[in-house]
Amino acid sequence: MSKNLPIWVVIPTYWGHSGRALYDHPTPLQGQSTLPRLLDSLVSQINAPDFQVLVLVAAVTQKENEKARVRVIQLLAPFQDRLKLSLADGHTAEWIRGSSLMKKISSSISMQGYGNIRNLQLLIPASLGADVIVALDDDEVVPEDYLIRAFKWLGKKLGNRSVTGLGGPYLDSRGSPYLPEPERGTNLFAAKSVLINQTMRELMAKPYRLIETSMIFGGNMIFHRKLFSQVCFDPAIPRGEDIDYLINAKIAGESFFFDPELGITHLPPRQYESPEYGKMKQDLIRFSYEREKILHAGLNPSDFSPYPGCLLDEEVIRLALETLSAIGSEALAERFGTPEEIFIEAGEHAERHLPRYFEFAELWPGVLEEALRVDSFGRELWRMCSEF
């Protein structure tokens, strides 16, 4: 079993038809994947320590799982001699869920949904002895010195804090870290990119130092064992699981730091694009839920300003309803719900899932510790991930 490789690069890849706004832009089963482009950039890393690559295959529906797995194995074949590769899919998740070690958290183990997939991104390497997990997404390219830069600060002291969580900017094809902004006059909820850019300008203003951050990107996150062994993703978060993890870390007394020089190029495809109405529905559920989570933990939304803190105010509900009404249609309402129905769903979601999250978060450290300790679990998990 490969317990001698402490560094894992984990890449979720999403496949199928995005009919339910489950994922932002999954790859069609017969479409062109961006994954080889990222793998090429990992092959080109200079002076990097040994690392294991784990690809997580997430299908939009369970019936697409096997086709997605076969497709990804085809894409990995040219890299077998150039990278240390492993793979996990829905069947792997089912095996983990059925293990007696995972009984306490089995209901939250799945290869569907952003939060669940990100937890497997931590749980699988953690069970196989990882000390560091580097989270990338399949629609990115990393510079040749990325891994060297990634380890410049990780695990070191910054004042009286240890750097256990680290991230950097997404750069577009022109090298800009900023998103397109809507016209002025758009309400705050719809103009999320304005707040993201405002936060990014503050983070990028000090290029040669780490900054404690309220914003992070899921495809450019680095976790030290001291962090991922204590803090989990929230299985109930429908979207924005990266920033939600930062909130979870803050609740647990941990901090995420931002390195302006740790940039990756983000080149999202536009093969299937979920409707804006569906994304905004998920945002409404997410921000309403996170507001309740923060207040329950005794924190203040202003601790996370400008973004996402400004959208964790009660006013966000009114703005969200207003925006959904403006961009909605009868067809969209039939598919995703009316604004009023979505508002009710958001409240019910928080009421139902918030207690479950705090229970799950309390169980997480003990489950990971036991999974690492039980050799038979690790041996079988490694066999499943390495034989494909």
Contact 6, 131 (CB under 8 A): yes
**Strand 170-171 with 220-224, pairing:** unpaired
pLDDT digits (tens, 9 = 90+) for 276-328: 888 889 999 999 999 999 999 999 999 999 999 999 988 777 788 888 998 89
N residues, the chain: 388
CA atoms of 297 and 74, how far apart (whole Å): 46
Per-residue pLDDT at 380 exceeds 90: yes
Amino acid, res. 301: P
CA atoms within 13 Å, Cβ hemisphere of 170: 19
Contact 111, 93 (CB under 8 A): yes
pLDDT for res 208: 78
DSSP secondary structure code for residue 10 in this structure: E
pLDDT for res 313: 85
pLDDT for res 150: 92
CA atoms of 385 and 388, how far apart (whole Å): 7
pLDDT digits (tens, 9 = 90+) for 120-151: 999 999 999 999 999 999 999 999 999 999 99
CA atoms of 174 and 354, how far apart (whole Å): 40
Q: Pick 7-382's CATH classification: 3.90.550.10, 3.90.105.20, 3.30.450.20, 3.90.1010.10.
A: 3.90.550.10
Q: Nearest-CA neighbor of 39 among 68, 71, 77, 5?
A: 77
* Claim: this prediction has a pTM higher than 0.85: yes
Can you give the residue ranges of every domain in the chain? 7-382
pLDDT digits (tens, 9 = 90+) for 218-239: 999 999 999 999 999 999 998 8
Encoding tokens for residue 25?
A: 């832009």
269 against 349, higher pLDDT? 349
pLDDT for res 160: 87
321 against 177, higher pLDDT? 177
Amino acid, res. 273: E
